[in-house]
Amino acid sequence: MKKAKIYKPSKTAMQSGLKKFDKWILEFIANDPTINPLMGWESSNDTYSELKMEFTSKELAVDYAKKNKIEYELIESQARKVNKKSYSDNFTK
C-alpha cells in the first residue's frame, strides 16, 4: 500500500489566529514526481498524492491508517512558544 504522513498543519506567517489548525491531516506521499515537459511543473501519475484527509484527532488518523493497512509516518506538532510583550516594553528597555 501507499505511504502517508500524518501531521498537524502549522499556521503561515500571514495568519495570526489558530482557528483552522485543530485538525490532523493524512496525506499520501508521491512515489516519483516527474517534471512536466510542457510547463516545467512537477507532476505525477499517482492520483493518491492529490488526496488529503482531515481528522479531528491524531488517534482517529492513526486508526484509519492501521484499519486500511496504510504505512504511515507520524509527525508530531511542536508546542508554540509565546513571548508576551507589552507596548510599554518598547520604551522601558
What is the grid cell recorded at 17?
A: 489566529
What global pTM score does this model have? 0.70
**What's the Cα-to-Cα distance from 46 to each of 6, 33, 83, rounded to whole Å?**
19, 8, 43
- pLDDT (tens digit per residue) in 34-93: 887 888 887 777 778 788 999 999 999 999 999 999 999 999 887 778 788 888 888 876
pLDDT in tens, 59-70: 999 999 999 999
Cell of 50: 492529490
Provide the grid cell at 27. 496525506
Question: What are the residue ranges spanned by the domains of the chain?
Answer: 1-8+23-69
The side-by-side arrangement of strands in the sheet containing 52-55 is: 52-55, 24-28, 3-7, 71-75
**Euclidean distance between CA atoms 49 and 27, whole angstroms:** 7
